[in-house]
Amino acid sequence: MRAIGIILAGGNSKRLKELSKNRAVCAMPVAGSYRSIDFALSNMEHSRIQKVAVLAQYNSRSLNEHLASSKWWNFGRKQGGLFLFTPSFADADSNWYRGTADAIAQNISFLKTSHEPYVVIASGDCVYKMDYNKVLTWHVDKRADITVVVKDMPETFNVERYGTVRMDEEDRIQDFIEKPLAPEYNTISCGVYVIRRRLLIELLEKCAEENRYDFVQDILIRYRGLKKIYGYRLKEYWANIASVEDYYRTNMDFLRPEIRDYFFRQYPEVHSRAADLPPAKYNVGVNIRNSLLSSGCIVNGTVENSILFQQVYVGNNCVIRNSLILNDVYIGDNTIIENCIVESGGTIQSNSCYRGENGIQIVEEKGERYTI
Amino acid sequence: MITAAIDTIGFPDLCSRAGFDMKERVCGLWFVVTYTRAGRAGAYGDERKVYMIIKKEMIAMLLAGGQGSRLGILTSDVAKPAVSFGGKYRIIDFPLSNCINSGIDTVGVLTQYMPLRLNAHVGIGIPWDLDKNVGGVTVLSPYEKIQNTEWYTGTANAIYQNIEYMESFHPDYVLILSGDHIYKMDYEAMLESHKENGAEVTIAVMPVSLEEATRFGIMITDEDGRITDFEEKPAHPRSTLASMGIYIFNWETLKEALLANRDEAGLDFGKHVIPYCREKGAPLYAYEFNGYWKDVGTLTSYWEANMELIDIVPEFNLYEEYWKIYTKSTSITPQFFGPESVIERTIAGEGTEIYGKVYSSVIGCDVTVGAGSVIRNSIIMNGAVIGEGCVLDKVICAENSVIGDGAVLGEGEEVPNDTRPDIYCEGLVTIGENTEIPAGVRIGKNVMISGRTTPEDYPGGQLASGRTLEKEVKA
């Protein structure tokens, strides 16, 4: 393979509110049986990238747990493998990762000891399928210094929390505005970059000398006139989950048949850690409409337009509508849940009612659970 | 790793001398201590050397080579242990998961009949954590020898042909299992009982009713559980303790019995090895098991065992945390339920999409049930596609079969099957794997269909009860 991979998985997102309290954004459960990082990792695997570093910082325990074995993504190999790099302290002035560029710079030996000529950098909080080889080929054809994967978003899409770009006819990026207050362009960066390994080392070392730490600000924006930075347009589905609204919407997208078909049935498949859960079980009085349910669930009530993640128990006469119920939630009898995201591990007492009135309500209930 | 000949020191003794607590080393590497006589006789300490050898206290040999012909078309292309069960599992998952849950990490899987699916499923044992540096799962198929090349001619003959494999682990005990039962059992508890009794052979038994006892090998025991006599499928049983086909042997006893009877045709545990051990006066004990255990040897028992899983609190509970059943999943995606779907008393595997109505059924992974279809009391295996507007009652539909829109299966009166009334009975409709059934046909009961069938195979769009329709799959 011609490239090594780096997955940026360090971020916390205040926009995910309580949901990111106990886990990294990249460890957020997605579409019933996946974690957010599974998409980037599976893309790496299907692009035949053999050596991948995951740079994690915020609440890395959740990611560590998920990535404890690399075999599920086919990275348990002698050639290459999966590496999880968290900030480590080697000398007196060691630091946390102060930014994306700093995170890579602190692990520059990973780049220096590799021999593959290119690096694919991806973020771990996006839901998409992509063959990075196509970008790489395009990158080589364009004789680009850096290629940024971009996507044209619909006019109605709020790009305020993304990086927006303006490209010329040659697809060279002319302007790059991070998190614009008054957005001028609707083309956004997908957080996937291809760059020659030696150039990346050079740029990172220069950044480190100048105490600059951010890949977007200090490399992409700062060098956009100096280096040939191109934008590769992604046509297929792509979504970022790093805010409550986007997280909810991305999950709900999986109720659409074309999205399910694209991710669940079409090649290549997305890998995840084996859960070893029994089949989902449906008892009497069950009423399920337009919903996704994962393995290990036991259902006795009504579920509509919702996604139940793994090992959810739904009691008798419950009504669950337009909601995401994350992993291992116990819902007691006669409970109504509408427009909510129920945090994983929760126990909802019988006869309770949760309704998201203005938007999506996040439900966190750590009640006692009695099992028979 | 240095493999040294083992000294005759007892292993517990040896472990304590080597500084290891035996209990901690039940599965894994053991250490052999050799002593050089430099000083006084029997003195050790300075001259002590510790070498590693491969040593497992107990290994399991899993007999998975049988065809299981009473499962009819379900085992025409796969060995019985590889047949789907309970939505996402295969039968062999149960003994394999029992092994790893009981702390047995060395399992030889003996295959012979149609092994491809089984080999692919077992692989290197990753789903069961049986991918080990030392031990783990090994698929043992019959092999050519300089003299006397033969297939596995009987259960014990298969084990005999793999003496070398067992010997390489220096076991104290060998557990013999068969790959066609559904149960959860702690073999370690059985081993404890074996040791406590000072047995050379322990046979797992379970109490059955007097009528059922006529179908099993029956053990007659004294009050201590020592087996005094046994009888095979007796007309008038003297006991109700049925053998479950699970044995623990002292390795030396097993090896001696196998070598002594090596020339017996179709060497079998029940017929030859166990009687031989008894005649020799070896202490034989019964280990009574009282949990759920189901022989899924016939289509009807297979169907019943599946249906027992959908009870509100099933006797055989897959949802317990502490004794997980592992399997190689082909799919991990969630299940989807369409806007008009109905589901009741059903379990369903990953990736399944249900647009129709499903009642009291067991659905595998990646199954599609079209809108307007009604499925009752059926087993639909992985990858099957049920079209729109179908009606299925008591159907066993094997993997990757396709049923066309509007087909009706399992209607009308029961008529005994014309080819195998003993197999295809009790109103079941059995569809072999990779079978295609055209749209709109009406199919009766006690029917078996396999292969790519076309409308021409159904005169008047019908297949009467009791008929068998077998066509080439690769037509």
Residue B7 has pLDDT above 90, yes or no: no
- Taking CA atoms, B375 is separated from A318, B346, B380, B466, in Å, by 25, 10, 9, 21
Contact (CB<8Å) B337/A274: no
One-letter amino acid identity for B371? A
Which tops the pLDDT comparison, B285 or B473? B285
Verify whether the Cβ–Cβ distance B350 to A296 is below 8 Å.
Answer: no
Residues of chain B with Cβ-Cβ distance to A285 below 8 Å are 344
The two counts, helices (H) then strands (E), for chain A are 9, 28
Cα Rg of chain A (Å, integer):
22
Instruction: Among A271, A275, A290, select the one facing B337 at the smallest CB separation.
Output: A290
The pLDDT assigned to A203 comes to: 97
Mutate to test the interface with B, among A261, A282, A326, A371 (most CBs of B within 10 A): A282
Judge residue A305's burial from the number of C-beta atoms within 10 Å of its C-beta, 0-12 exposed, 13-18 middle, 19 or more buried: middle
The distance of A32 to chain B (nearest Cα, Å) reads: 6
**Residues B81-100: tens digit of each pLDDT:** 999 999 999 999 999 999 99
Share of chain B above pLDDT 90, in %: 81
Backbone torsions φ then ψ of B176, nearest 5 degrees: -105, 125
In chain B, count of helices (H) and strands (E)? 9, 35
Q: Closest approach of chain B CAs to the CA of A182, in angstroms?
A: 40
In terms of phi and psi (left: phi > 0; alpha: psi -120 to 50; beta: otherwise), the region of A167 is: beta
Cβ of B127 and A276 within 8 Å? yes
Q: Which residue is closest to A313 within chain B, CA to CA?
A: B319
Q: Low-confidence residues of chain A, pLDDT below 50?
A: none
pLDDT at B24 over 60: no
- Taken in order B247, B248, B249, B251, the sign of the CA dihedral is positive
- Mean per-residue pLDDT over chain B, rounded: 89
Preferred mutation among B321, B337, B342, B359 to probe A, highest tally of A CBs within 10 A: B337
pLDDT of residue B48: 55
B351 interaction partners in chain A (CB closer than 8 Å): 264
Contact B142, B151 (CB under 8 A): yes
3-class DSSP state for residue A8? strand
**pLDDT of res. B43:** 47
**Residue of A282, A313, A5, A325 lying closest to A135 (CA atoms):** A5
User: Which burial class, exposed, middle or buried, applies to B88 when counting CB atoms under 10 A from its CB (0-12, 13-18, 19+)?
Assistant: buried
DSSP string, B171-225: -SEEEEEESSEEE---HHHHHHHHHHHT-SEEEEEEE--TTGGGGSEEEEE-TTS
Number of Cβ within 10 Å of residue A152's Cβ equals: 12
How far is A306 from A309, CA to CA, in rounded Å?
10
Q: Is there a contact between B333 and A33 if contact means CB atoms under 8 Å apart?
A: yes
Q: Which residues of A209-241 are buried (b: 16+ CB within 10 A; e: fewer)?
A: eeebbbbbbbbbbbebeebebbbbebeebbbbb
Interchain contact B343–A (C-beta under 8 A) = yes
Cβ separation of A280 and B347 shorter than 8 Å?
yes
- Does A288 contact B324 at a Cβ distance shorter than 8 Å? no
Question: Quick one: pLDDT at residue B16?
Answer: 53
Strand partners, B250: B173
- Spell A253-262 as b/e; 16+ CB within 10 A means b: bbbeeebbeb
Gap from B317 CA to chain A (nearest CA, Å): 10
Distance of CA A286 to the CA centre of its chain: 33
Cα–Cα distance for residue pair B54/B166, rounded to 1 Å: 11
Secondary structure element (H or E) that encloses residue A333, with its range: none
Separation of alpha carbons A50 and A76, rounded Å: 10
In this structure, are residues B185 and B268 in contact, taking their beta carbons and an 8 Å threshold?
no
CB–CB contact B345 A283 (8 Å): yes
Chain B: closest CA distance from residue A289 (Å): 5
Whether chain A has a CB inside 8 Å of the CB on B322: the answer is no
Are the beta carbons of B109 and B128 closer than 8 angstroms?
no
Evaluate if residue B34 carries a pLDDT over 80: no
Is the ipTM reported for this complex over the cut 0.85? yes
Tell me, yes or no, if B460 comes closer than 8 A to chain A by beta carbon.
Answer: no
**Cα B97 to chain centroid, rounded:** 10
A3-37: burial string, b at 16+ Cβ within 10 Å, e else: bbbbbbbbbebebbeebbeebbbbbbbbbbbbbbb
Cβ contact A294–B335 (<8 Å)? yes
Task: Verify cis geometry, omega within 30 degrees of 0, for the bond prior to B171.
Answer: no
From the candidates B336, B340, B343, B345, which should be mutated to test the interface with A, based on the most A CB atoms within 10 A? B336
Give the closest of B86, B88, B336 to A292, CB-based.
B336
Residue A372's pLDDT is 52
Chain A contact for B344, CB < 8 A?
Answer: yes
Helix (H) or strand (E) holding A284, with range, is: none
B310/A293 touch (CB, cutoff 8 Å), yes or no: no
Selected residue of A35, A74, A264, A309 to mutate for chain B interface (largest B Cβ count, 10 A): A264
Q: What does the alpha-carbon distance between residue B50 and residue B20 come to, in Å, rounded to a whole number?
A: 12
Res A371: pLDDT = 61
Question: Residue A40: helix, strand or coil by DSSP?
Answer: helix
CB spacing of A279 vs B87 below 8 angstroms: yes
Which of B47-61, B146-160, B167-181 comes out lowest in average pLDDT? B47-61
C-alpha Rg value of chain B to the nearest Å: 25
Residue of B nearest to A287 (CA): B342
- B246 class by beta-carbon count within 10 Å (0-12 exposed, 13-18 middle, 19+ buried): buried
Residues of chain B with Cβ-Cβ distance to A293 below 8 Å are 334-335, 337
Contact B334 A294 (CB under 8 A): yes
| Contact pairs from chain A to chain B, CB under 8 Å | 100
pLDDT surpassing 80 at residue B21: no
Residues A276, B351: C-beta atoms closer than 8 Å: no
B349 interfaces chain A, CB cutoff of 8 Å: yes
CB atoms A32 and B333 under 8 Å = yes
Per-residue confidence (pLDDT) for residue A92, from 0 to 100: 61
Residues of B numbered 106-135 whose beta carbons fall under 8 angstroms of chain A's beta carbons: which are they?
126-127
Q: Which residues contact B39 (CB under 8 A, 6 or more apart)?
A: B46, B47
Residues of chain A in contact with residue B325, where contact means CB-CB under 8 angstroms, are: 278
Listed residue (A279, A346, A248, A338) closest to A28, CA to CA:
A248
Q: Is B282 on the interface with A (CB under 8 A)?
A: no
Are B347 and A281 inside 8 Å of each other by CB?
Answer: yes
Minimal CA separation from B377 to chain A, in Å:
14
Q: Name the 3-class secondary structure at A230.
A: strand
DSSP assignment of B295-314: E--SHHHHHHHHHHTTSSS-
Interface of chain A toward chain B, CB-CB under 8 angstroms: 31-34, 71, 254-255, 260, 263-264, 271-272, 274-276, 278-296, 298, 303, 307-309
Average pLDDT value for residue range B380-409? 97
* Two tokens, residue B443: 């199919």
**Contact check, Cβ <8 Å, B343/A290:** no
Residues of B in contact with A254 (CB under 8 A): 334
Contact yes or no for B345 and A272 at CB 8 A: no
Tokens of A228: 């040939």
Phi, psi of A366 (to 5 degrees): -110, 45
Q: Could you give the CA distance from residue A287 to residue A282 in angstroms, rounded to a whole number?
A: 9
C-alpha B430, offset from chain centre: 21
Task: Give percent of chain B with pLDDT exceeding 70.
Answer: 89
Distances (CA, A) of B212 to B89, B247, B402: 27, 21, 37
CB contact under 8 A, A290 and B329: no
Extract the tokens encoding B233: 């499928």
Question: Which of A272, A289, A293, A330 is most worth mutating to test chain B (most B CB atoms within 10 A of its CB)?
Answer: A293
Residues from chain B contacting residue A292 (CB–CB below 8 Å): 334-337
Contact flag B329-A292 (C-beta cutoff 8 Å): no
User: With 0-12 CB in 10 A as exposed, 13-18 as middle and 19+ as buried, what is B240?
Assistant: middle
Strands A163-167 and A173-178: antiparallel
Residue B410 at interface with chain A, using a CB cutoff of 8 Å? no
Q: What's the pLDDT at B37?
A: 43
Residues B454-469 pLDDT 10s: 999 999 999 999 999 9
A279 with B343: Cβ contact below 8 A: no
Task: Compute the residue count for chain A.
Answer: 372
Inter-chain residue contact A278 with B337, CB threshold 8 Å: no
3-state class percentages of chain B: helix first, strand second, coil last, to nearest 5: 20, 30, 50
pLDDT tens column, A128-179: 999 999 999 999 999 999 999 999 999 999 999 999 999 999 999 999 999 9
Q: Look up the pTM and report it.
A: 0.90
Query: Over the stretch A10-53, which tens digit does the pLDDT of each residue have?
Result: 877 788 989 988 889 999 999 999 999 999 999 999 999 999 99
- List C-alpha distances in Å: A151 to A189, A237, A240, A283, B288: 7, 9, 12, 44, 66
